């Protein structure tokens, strides 16, 4: 990993504190939850006398072995090191009480979109934040605590698109190390591919309501569409890849109306198009093949589709 010394510096700072709270981003996904909980488990194993907390919600579609996050008081946060994982933009942190922490450090893998004055270890070439954390643990401590392995593998496999989109040789090497450390990969895959009757109904909605616009396959979802099925807005947005590569189209998108009236936008590509540039244009960010943003009303969707269709091939 590039600039591994900075990663060491993050963990050097962690070692100085007796109490720390780990934060993830809004609308958490597998990598966010896997990184938050995996880092918590790793630090608890490495430093059993320290107080380690993890905050944030957990989507219901993730594996059932995931433990609940912690109920942390304001007093605890004001006396703890805050560790941000899988993001580095403070407004996107799910629990905004992070702003009360006396110090913040960060581990991320997204393309830098903001400048911060806190210590950040960013590896943009990594498939997931969990990959960065795992590499740091191996470099700094020589092993991965078994308690953390399944969480970190979950983050790696979900953010790489099951190793379909963001996966270099180093990614598979990290995966192998996690399996050796005890990652229950069979359980993870089995649970990621499980589905409930509600899942099937939501899949049916997307499969029967998708549209196409030149290079893009997309689906627009209103609140009543998923609420009537008892599905949360976060779980509704997690099905974007149902639209992948339809009839050879390299781009797909899911537009889901949120409780606040904004439209959550999930953008994906087959790796030949840079959707991250489109996400940034609309105030979001992410990766070359997987990004997200928000628009304020359904009328803006046409602008997003236009920008997607105008995206150049990465080979150009």
Average pLDDT over residues 57-77: 93
Asked if 215 and 249 touch (Cβ cutoff 8 Å), the reply is: yes
Domain edge (last residue) among 149, 176, 192? 192
Average pLDDT over residues 47-52: 98
Evaluate if residue 67 carries a pLDDT over 50.
yes
Q: Whose structure tokens read 């189209």?
A: 249
Average pLDDT over residues 146-155: 97
pLDDT digits (tens, 9 = 90+) for 188-203: 999 988 888 988 999 9
Largest CA distance in the chain: 58
- Provide the number of structural domains found in the chain: 2
Specify the pLDDT at position 3.
Answer: 54
Same domain, 155 and 221: no
Domain edge (last residue) among 177, 192, 207? 192
pLDDT digits (tens, 9 = 90+) for 270-310: 989 999 999 999 988 878 888 899 999 999 999 999 999 99
How many C-beta neighbours within 10 Å does residue 43 have?
A: 23
Angle, CA of 158, 125 and 182, to the nearest 5°: 45
Same domain, 80 and 217: no
Residue 260 maps to which CATH number? 3.10.310.30
Same domain, 55 and 117: yes
pLDDT digits (tens, 9 = 90+) for 13-47: 999 999 999 999 988 999 999 999 999 999 999 99
Asked if 62 and 35 touch (Cβ cutoff 8 Å), the reply is: no
Specify the pLDDT at position 1.
Answer: 42
Q: How far does the chain reach from its first CA to its final CA, in angstroms? A: 27
Please indicate, yes or no, if residue 315 is contained in any of the structural domains: no
Q: Distance between CA 134 and CA 153 in Å, rounded?
A: 9
Residue 164 maps to which CATH number? 3.90.1640.10
Work out the mean pLDDT of the chain and round it to a whole number. 93
Percent of the chain beyond pLDDT 70?
A: 97
Specify the pLDDT at position 27.
Answer: 84
Please indicate, yes or no, if residue 316 is contained in any of the structural domains: no
Same domain, 242 and 290: yes
Cross-sheet strand order for the sheet of 211-213: 211-213, 216-221, 251-257, 263-269, 290-295, 285-286
What is the band of 144 on the pLDDT scale with cuts at 50, 70, 90?
Answer: very high
Please indicate, yes or no, if residue 314 is contained in any of the structural domains: no
User: What 3-state DSSP class applies to 273?
Assistant: strand
Domain that holds residue 275: 197-309
Specify the pLDDT at position 258.
Answer: 94
Evaluate if residue 181 carries a pLDDT over 50.
yes
Task: Give whole-number Cα distances, 27 to 32, 155, 234, 239, 315, in Å.
Answer: 9, 15, 6, 13, 31
Same domain, 137 and 201: no
Same domain, 20 and 143: yes
């Amino acid at each position: 990993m590039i600039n591994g010394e900075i990663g060491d510096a993050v963990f050097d700072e962690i070692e100085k504190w007796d109490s720390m709270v780990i934060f993830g981003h809004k609308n958490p996904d597998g990598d966010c939850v896997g990184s938050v909980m995996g880092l918590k488990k790793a630090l608890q194993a490495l430093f059993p006398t320290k107080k380690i907390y993890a905050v944030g919600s957990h989507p219901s579609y993730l594996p059932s072995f995931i433990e609940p996050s912690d109920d942390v008081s304001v007093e605890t946060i004001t006396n703890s090191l805050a560790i941000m994982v899988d993001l580095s933009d403070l407004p996107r942190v799910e629990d905004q009480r992070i702003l009360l922490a006396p110090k913040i450090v960060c581990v991320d893998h997204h393309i830098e979109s903001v400048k911060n004055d806190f210590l950040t270890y960013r590896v943009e070439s990594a498939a997931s934040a969990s990959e960065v954390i795992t590499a740091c643990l191996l470099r700094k401590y020589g092993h991965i605590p078994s308690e953390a392995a399944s969480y970190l593998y979950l983050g790696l496999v979900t953010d790489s698109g099951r190793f379909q989109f963001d996966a270099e040789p180093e990614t598979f090497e990290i995966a192998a190390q996690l399996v050796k450390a005890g990652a229950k990969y069979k359980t993870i895959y089995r649970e990621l591919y499980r589905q409930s009757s509600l899942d099937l109904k939501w899949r049916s909605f997307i499969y029967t309501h998708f549209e196409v616009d030149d290079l893009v396959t997309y689906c627009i979802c209103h609140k009543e569409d998923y609420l009537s099925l008892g599905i949360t807005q976060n779980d509704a947005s997690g099905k974007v890849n149902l639209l992948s590569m339809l009839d050879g189209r390299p781009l797909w998108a899911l537009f889901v109306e949120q409780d606040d009236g904004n439209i959550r936008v999930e953008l994906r590509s087959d790796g030949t198009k840079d959707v991250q540039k489109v996400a940034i244009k609309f105030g979001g960010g992410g990766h070359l093949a997987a990004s997200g943003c928000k628009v304020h009303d359904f009328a803006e969707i046409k602008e997003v589709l236009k920008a997607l269709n105008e995206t150049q091939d990465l080979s150009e």
